[in-house]
Amino acid sequence: MLPVFTLFFNSCGEIYDLNAFIWEPEIPLNDSVFNREIYVHNLALEGIESVTGQPPDYLDPILFSLERFSIVHPGYKISDRWDISMGGSFGVTVSGNNGARRGLGYGSSSIGGYALLDSMYSQIQDLPATMNIMEPGLASLDAQGAAGSGVGPFVYTFGGNFIRPDKVVNLGSQDPVLAHEAFMYSHMIYALSEDLVTAFPNALDARRSAKLRPRTLIVRTAKGNFAKLEFLSYYKDTLDPKEMKRDQRNTPFGYFSFRYILIKADEARFGFVKRRPAMTIDVSRKTTTVHPEM
């Protein structure tokens, strides 16, 4: 991870630090980001290699700006230029950005955080009147112990697969082909999305003897606006939970896909103003697509 930077001098409109990092002026926020559904696909550490100039460490978090729908260079860690971080030591750790609380953005002017709701994304139309905003907040896998925090937007199946038990019946089979196929459905990480609970309505978490719960984040951005956000997948190019498996060659893991709607701080409803066309940003392909009909 890059060290904390110290400002050094100003020359020709650019600010440099002791590590030759150029602090670029911030572009004013465009209102077109508000009140539209934004889909982000395949957000991964590999997406920041070209801007850091060196391969990232697998423990480094990904900093992302919801307001500018883009990866933020780790040099801006102590700033209000990012809103949510992903990745880190557990792989799926999620954090907000709050400069007054210990965390990645500590020491900046950021006022971010998030609330984690047991609610379907599509059913959240209004900003909750009361919610527990964690500052900055730190959630990982919906599992207890070393594998997670106990509360998070993802669920881990451990060595089996309680969501798709039919896929792991051949674990330990003497047939190497069957055993390998079953292995690719073990140790799975699923986003607790609407699609997951709809696709597997009878799936029970064996540790709780309870049905899966969808999880939606209400994110307060670093500048104080709000977004509702739902994680969709942890597997590259794979949004359908029925198609997810731990196949590093064809569907590598560590790629976040999610959707969100951003509203201004003084609004109370998601989509209160006439919504703008939805957008999809595919980070791995560096493409942006507008969907007028979505």
From the first residue on, what is the mean pLDDT of each consecutive set of 10 residues in the chain (294 residues)? 32 38 67 91 74 58 91 87 83 88 89 93 92 84 53 86 94 94 94 95 73 91 96 95 87 92 92 83 91 72
Domain extent at residue 212: 27-291
Tell me, what's the pLDDT at 282? Answer: 94
Any domain includes 19: no
Any domain includes 22: no
Any domain includes 7: no
Rounded to 5 degrees, φ, ψ at 177 are -70, -45
Euclidean distance between CA atoms 46 and 58, whole angstroms:
10
Give how many domains the chain has, as a whole number. Answer: 1
Any domain includes 10: no
Any domain includes 198: yes
Any domain includes 237: yes
CB 106 within 8 A of CB 99: yes
Tell me, what's the pLDDT at 212? Answer: 85
Any domain includes 102: yes
Euclidean distance between CA atoms 294 and 292, whole angstroms:
6
Any domain includes 87: yes
CB 108 within 8 A of CB 206: no
Tell me, what's the pLDDT at 51? Answer: 46
Tell me, what's the pLDDT at 9? Answer: 29
Closest by alpha carbon to 277, among 41, 34, 40?
34
Rg (Cα) of the chain, in Å, rounded? 20
Tell me, what's the pLDDT at 119? Answer: 92
Tell me, what's the pLDDT at 17? Answer: 42
Tell me, what's the pLDDT at 179? Answer: 95
Tell me, what's the pLDDT at 251? Answer: 80
